[in-house]
Structure 1
């Protein structure tokens, strides 16, 4: 006989957003069940890996600013509650060119608005301090608020705190069907049974389009395979010692983190990749992106070996405007969903979790989320 469970809220997807939403709900006194299709922990989605950049530098919509600020505060609180190092300070080096001056100034202003002072650096200073090779047209500043989130540890901490708050995490539990009952409750069905709840929160990551399609929502998202590349340091006395983002390239930005994950290896990646089906990520050919990053490293990072030593992968779920979608179902207000974080979602996980929790409880939100609604895409009507 299949198992039937009852809850106030069921959350689908135990990545950073789903785990954060579940924690907020459990702490609000809601009986919460968190479902994950894979066995926890796993490396099949978008929340795995050892590190992520956190920053106040904002090169997205201004509506992101309060989420960045709220999440930074929450990550520090979660770190204290978990009793583990989840966030390591690491000033963010922001690179660009004079051609990108309006964007660079906009990003620097976002740092100032967050209460921090960006430090502008001359190209020669950047080259000497970080082992780069920037030309005379380079622009650069340091965001002192930057840091590195220990991603796997962060997600694990959210899940431990969720269980400690009375929540139930069921992994190896893929969702096959979502049914809205006549009285308004929601029933989530899978091979392992059924879960009935008054409200449903969906955080399915790269599986957002097929899963939300089951309830009549059509998301204009593209799933991309990201090549996560690690490069050996030639000389530890002259190498990048902090995280960086480089917006010089019109095709997309490059980013990197210092040698925290693997001793002597720096992470340098391109923010984007080829389109894939989330169940066939490893069948995708990543040679074009790998070659693009190799050319970038050889040009700008003489302190690194020219060939990557390790290649891993993850997935981005990208919207047309590269801003996330956080919304409620237009017909069923007790179904809330978050998707399409376009590679910038991990850092704002706690703030998104708080928002999803408030929406599931019918509470007012602390800030305007209209810029993240699904309705902004004209072809996404139900």
Structure 2
């Protein structure tokens, strides 16, 4: 079969791109080294936070609002619940850059946000205790995305529109000739007019096949679920949260369908080789100990681990995304370096990648994510 576009990486961004391309009539092949959704990348673990008053910077807000619209469209098309409006609570000192960006983003874009004292936070959610010099920023319209369910929905809809997925298919070589792309795997050689590389931690090796060196650093991350009193920490009463603390940055989720309170640490992490297996959760004492330290200080009722998992972040030096075309090949688009905060945007990233390949205008300016910022 002849394809218009090959997408390497059928995770968060790649599967979304495959959906938009196939929906728009492009004959699309998706290749993945594993069987998505899987636990070898950054899209597993059941849930991801989506927030609109963005603590990482105001430049993200139009992009995440576009993603919000596309998530709503996806729920309507699939007739499935993919978003839970739990609200999201941001916590930190009022001098924290994360908190200041959250407040300024909300003001600039007229987003609903409640700024709360430490006493207000404890009164509303008795399971949280924070220092008097911390404040809370509660965004009631934000919440939780069902990440693995979303990838399955994108896959089903892409296949319905004619997309083909080759699983457990590792790419061995990529070449460009006469405006055609040739991708070689262990089993086949495929040619198409265009290519999208959205392979998470594996993207660095793939773009190097096209003489492009990107500053991508894969790191090992851990997250875990803990026993929680359901009457206090369930999704109807407790928000998703992000804490900027003296000891690090943490994020978490209420107990959804009695799964337990889920938490992870956003900063830190050990550099890893994405082609090798990571140590499982618990192999290092700090995997559990770091999370228990957080609970001891801010949510003292939580102390019993249920189970934990590992995943990878792929960091850029400025922790901002890369969404762009190859500087030499306009028929090659790249999405990489989502630095642990990309999933919420993946609907809009998929749309943007499709538009880059088809030369359609993007609804939102993606120039802040140009790879040119790393070129000298």
The alignment status of 1:218 with 2:216, answered yes or no, reads: no
- Contact 2:63/2:364 (8 A) holds in 1: no
Q: Hey, what's the Cα distance between the residues in 1 that align with 2:108 and 2:319?
A: 22
CA separation of 1:300/1:356 partners in 2, compared to 1, >3 Å: closer, same or farther? same
Structure 1: unaligned runs, 5 residues or longer: none
1:369 maps to which residue? 366
The alignment status of 1:196 with 2:208, answered yes or no, reads: no
- Residue 184 of structure 1 is aligned with which of 179, 184, 192? 179
- Contact 1:63/1:369 (8 A) holds in 2: no
The alignment status of 1:159 with 2:136, answered yes or no, reads: no
1:335 maps to which residue? 332
Aligned partner of residue 294 in structure 1, secondary structure: helix
Deviates more, 1:273-282 or 1:334-343: 273-282
**Number of aligned pairs?**
370
- Contact 2:8/2:30 (8 A) holds in 1: yes
- Contact 1:88/1:149 (8 A) holds in 2: yes
- Contact 1:270/1:289 (8 A) holds in 2: no
- Residue 324 of structure 1 is aligned with which of 318, 321, 334? 321
TM-score of the superposed pair, with normalisation by structure 1: 0.92
- Contact 1:56/1:114 (8 A) holds in 2: no
Structure 2: unaligned runs, 5 residues or longer: none
Root-mean-square deviation (CA), in Å?
1.9
Shift of 1:39: 1.9
- Contact 1:227/1:312 (8 A) holds in 2: yes
Q: Hey, what's the Cα distance between the residues in 2 that align with 1:68 and 1:302?
A: 33
1:283 maps to which residue? 279
- Contact 1:188/1:196 (8 A) holds in 2: yes
Shift of 1:206: 0.9
Aligned partner of residue 161 in structure 1, secondary structure: helix
- Residue 136 of structure 1 is aligned with which of 132, 135, 157? 132
CA separation of 1:114/1:303 partners in 2, compared to 1, >3 Å: closer, same or farther? farther
- Residue 38 of structure 2 is aligned with which of 42, 46, 57? 42
Describe the superposition over 1:244-276 as per-residue Cα deviations: whole angstroms up to 9, x where unpaired: 001133x64111000116x25101110032111
Describe the superposition over 1:115-153 as per-residue Cα deviations: whole angstroms up to 9, x where unpaired: 422111121121232211111111112112211111110
CA separation of 1:264/1:336 partners in 2, compared to 1, >3 Å: closer, same or farther? closer
Matches within 5 A, 1:214-363: 214-234=209-229, 236-237=231-232, 241-249=238-246, 252-260=248-256, 263=258, 265-272=260-267, 273-283=269-279, 286-305=284-303, 307-363=304-360
Q: Hey, what's the Cα distance between the residues in 1 that align with 2:103 and 2:294?
A: 24
Q: Hey, what's the Cα distance between the residues in 2 that align with 1:215 and 1:203?
A: 14
Q: Hey, what's the Cα distance between the residues in 2 that align with 1:40 and 1:106?
A: 34
Shift of 1:211: 1.3
Deviates more, 1:270-279 or 1:71-80: 270-279
- Contact 2:53/2:111 (8 A) holds in 1: no
- Contact 1:223/1:275 (8 A) holds in 2: yes
Q: Hey, what's the Cα distance between the residues in 2 that align with 1:246 and 1:237?
A: 19
CA separation of 1:329/1:151 partners in 2, compared to 1, >3 Å: closer, same or farther? same
CA separation of 1:198/1:85 partners in 2, compared to 1, >3 Å: closer, same or farther? same
Matches within 5 A, 1:23-102: 23-100=19-96
The alignment status of 1:22 with 2:18, answered yes or no, reads: yes
Aligned partner of residue 341 in structure 2, secondary structure: coil
Describe the superposition over 1:225-262 as per-residue Cα deviations: whole angstroms up to 9, x where unpaired: 1111111115734787110001133x64111000116x
Shift of 1:111: 2.5
- Contact 2:19/2:157 (8 A) holds in 1: yes
- Contact 2:37/2:43 (8 A) holds in 1: no
CA separation of 1:252/1:220 partners in 2, compared to 1, >3 Å: closer, same or farther? farther
